[in-house]
Amino acid sequence: MESPVTVFTQIPDFLDYLGSDLATTIAKTTALANLDLNPKFPFLCSRHYADLIKKANDPAALLCEILPTKDELKKVDGFVDDPVGDLPAGKSDCVIQKYDQRALIVSTATCGARCRFCFRKNYPFQNTPDVARQVSHWLNTHTDVWEVILSGGDPLTLGPGAFRELIEAIAMHPSVTTLRIHTRLPVMHPDLVMQHFELLRELPARFSCVLVSHVDHADELDEESATVFAQLRFSGWTLLNQSVLLRGISDDAAKLNALCRKLFEQGVLPYYLHQLDHANGVAHFEVSDDEARKLIAEIRTKLPGYLVPKLVREIAGEKSKTPI
């Protein structure tokens, strides 16, 4: 499938682009490794995200999200390749069904960056050439499914032709009334969201449409993400955000507070704060449940209730997310 993502794939090029002062200072102060050590999940970062890092108040936090470190190679008990039970819930190469009457489509392996804490960093993506046909075929025999969730990878990295084909395949099934898209593109590659805009604007006439952005730090939000969210909101999309609680990135009440407020300024409601999924290679991002509860209690004293996200964990095999 065609994908117009523009990215850095080489860490030295990326650090050069950041500028030697910033890169050197960050590398020294945070002990981040200038090495790409995991061939199965190599470094990747969009130019837009690199620009966000350059203008961030807290550049080390954003850099931690995407720059590989030696910690990823540590084997830690309880951390596994499929932490949320995607594989046993697989119905085809690209359809996962964990919950009644809802289905998730692994629409692509491509992302705007490779987040080092990704729960699918060890997922055996199939690079299925006929996702639209497979999805349509599966929906033919699952007429109780009313919500289809596009996931990945990042579904909005699909080229316009492939994205339209997938949406049209889903829209052929009248039982599907809700379309949900999970994406980090509004902060990774906002121009790629805009390339789909004509189609995204048409969709609320056919479906109830929900976009769940994955934003973990206030510095990821800028005027470009604000434009994307504003256009979607005015077109009738419901905008929610889910974050992952991450050591060194968002494990601070002031940072969470700033994220929730800035999301709302851009028309997005904070919805879930996820405890880290225990994928191999992410243990260094872990924040304990006790610490997480304290953080939520603290932001609850600073924010109106509608801006306090639900603290949850996904447990493989459970029929819903588990509140903490």
Give least dist CB 189 to ligand SF4, A. Answer: 10
The smaller minimum CB distance to ligand SF4, of residues 139 and 270, is found at: 270
Give least dist CB 51 to ligand SF4, A. Answer: 17
One-letter amino acid at 138 equals: W
One-letter amino acid at 148 equals: V
Q: Scanning the structure block, which residue is given the tokens 């005027």?
A: 223
The smaller minimum CB distance to ligand SF4, of residues 173 and 314, is found at: 314
Give least dist CB 22 to ligand SF4, A. Answer: 22
Integer Cα distance of 120 and 27 in angstroms: 26
The smaller minimum CB distance to ligand SF4, of residues 111 and 150, is found at: 111
Give least dist CB 30 to ligand SF4, A. Answer: 20
The smaller minimum CB distance to ligand SF4, of residues 71 and 298, is found at: 71
DSSP 266: T
**Beta strands 178-183 and 147-151, pairing class:** parallel
The smaller minimum CB distance to ligand SF4, of residues 112 and 136, is found at: 112
Per DSSP, the residues of 204-240 read: GGTSEEEEEEE--SGGG--HHHHHHHHHHHHTT-EEE
Q: Tell me the CA distances in angstroms from 168 to 34, 103, 171, 203, one per residue in order.
A: 43, 16, 5, 10
Give least dist CB 72 to ligand SF4, A. Answer: 13
Closest by CA to 245, choosing from 277, 274, 212, is 274
Which residues contact ligand SF4 by CB under 6 A? Answer: 111, 114-115, 118, 120, 152-154, 184, 214
